[in-house]
Structure 1
């Protein structure tokens, strides 16, 4: 049996402790770890790179777009550390649908921040650091909760193309018979599940989703996962005119959506992790 160390940011909280209610976590990794605990493994959280707890294997679980090298260095001290190679998930590195002036794209576009999840995780970490009387770890981060849509690239203000904090991307919702779809792929080691969320609106997000269904993982997306070095995570992608486009890659995904939970199960993810543990500790 292995002891797993979960390396988190100094100001992140894997588990939220609430008064008069059971402590819980919004992260998928927590459900995976609890499944592994039921199998006899144990786990603990190392909050911050200086808190160098000992263990058999680790998970680099930094909920921020960029990972400080100090966390990566700590992860290297373990025989296995999930996502050790994933220290940059900025949109500019991940997206396969970037639009630049003069590239010939004439369809609609969407403007996003380069920070993952709209920069909200960085904003949260900065706020907690300031409350503790410490400097903000991401002082230049700007949160953007609502993305902007334009009918064509020529309608986008030039400042967005020039600003390194933003990315202009092809807007590629997949049109289906009863709405619009966006595909997702969750994986841990050799286990994975791919599905498609369908929404009435072209911006496929939580409240508007009324159906999900399994679908196949495109081979080129599997190759992209290998190139990016992901052991564990969630990809959001679109299929347009028969081609897949990776839009977002998350190394600290939230809980599996309830509509997909019976298939993309924490138990399956835990089995994928357990296989990697056994291989690393032989």
Structure 2
């Protein structure tokens, strides 16, 4: 059996969060593996494999360098998930796009993880150990505007914000978004229905399993992901990546999800085979 280290940031509060990785770890422990969670840059134990689970859009250099001591590092190449790295639909003020647009934070998840880390750093009297990047935080839905001409000048001038083409997936039932969750060579891919263009968990009306487009697999390779979740839509047969997340939350538990998580957990074996 193997020892597996889960590398988290000192401000992540991993043990209190509903992370999918915690759900998978239960299956690994049941299989006889040892799981060790490290928070911050203190003494890290020797291990057969480490999973980089720092909940920040850009991994701090010190964490990345420390984690590379391990013989296998999961997500060691997925160091940057900012929109300017992930998105292929970014716009500039002079683009000729005539459709609707959406304004987002460059940082993943509305910049909330970085904002929380900054506040904890201030309250604790220590530096948050964040890369030098603009932190714009919002817990509100990203605004959708009718046209590129409606984007305020201060948005274009703010390096913490980006403007994208707004490309929802829609049919007679409503609006759909898709989520591909993967761990090594195991995966699940689900399509979610909502009545609103920006699909949120609270507004989901139906769900169904769908195949993974090959273009999404190419995006996974481009971004260096071993484990994580990609949100995307399909329009006119083309898959469009919306978000890449290396620290996804666990969905509400039910027998189907538990069975799916048990399958995802088997992806650990693909990582360990590389060790051998």
Cα distance in structure 2, aligned partners of 1:259 and 1:144: 31
Which residue of the partner structure matches residue 38 of structure 2?
A: 46
Q: Does 1:72 align with 2:64?
A: yes
Cα distance in structure 1, aligned partners of 2:270 and 2:175: 36
DSSP-derived class of the 1:160 partner:
helix
Q: Does 1:142 align with 2:136?
A: yes
Cα distance in structure 2, aligned partners of 1:154 and 1:94: 24
Residues 4-50 of structure 1 deviation map (CA, whole Å, 9 limit, x = unaligned): 0111001111112xxxxxxxx41000011111000000111111123
Match of 2:121 among 116, 129, 150: 129
Q: Is the 8 A contact 1:256 1:264 kept in 2?
A: no
Q: For this pair of structures, how many residues does the alignment match?
A: 273
Match of 1:174 among 158, 162, 169: 169
Q: Tell me by how many angstroms 1:260 deviates.
A: 9.9
- Unpaired stretches in structure 2, ≥5 consecutive residues: none
Which residue of the partner structure matches residue 103 of structure 2?
A: 111
Which residue of the partner structure matches residue 268 of structure 2?
A: 273
Q: How does 1:226-245 map to 2 (within 5 A)?
A: 226-245=221-240
- Unpaired stretches in structure 1, ≥5 consecutive residues: 17-24
Cα distance in structure 2, aligned partners of 1:67 and 1:51: 19
Cα distance in structure 1, aligned partners of 2:259 and 2:122: 37
DSSP-derived class of the 2:14 partner:
coil
- Structure-2 change in CA distance of 1:4 and 1:263 (3 Å): closer
Q: How does 1:1-282 map to 2 (within 5 A)?
A: 1-16=1-16, 25-138=17-130, 140-146=134-140, 147-258=142-253, 261-262=256-257, 265-277=260-272, 279-282=273-276
CA RMSD of aligned residues (A): 1.8
- Structure-2 change in CA distance of 1:237 and 1:263 (3 Å): farther
Q: Is the 8 A contact 1:256 1:265 kept in 2?
A: no
TM-score (norm 1): 0.91
Q: Is the 8 A contact 1:181 1:204 kept in 2?
A: yes
Q: Is the 8 A contact 1:86 1:228 kept in 2?
A: yes
Cα distance in structure 2, aligned partners of 1:48 and 1:156: 39
Q: Is the 8 A contact 1:212 1:259 kept in 2?
A: no
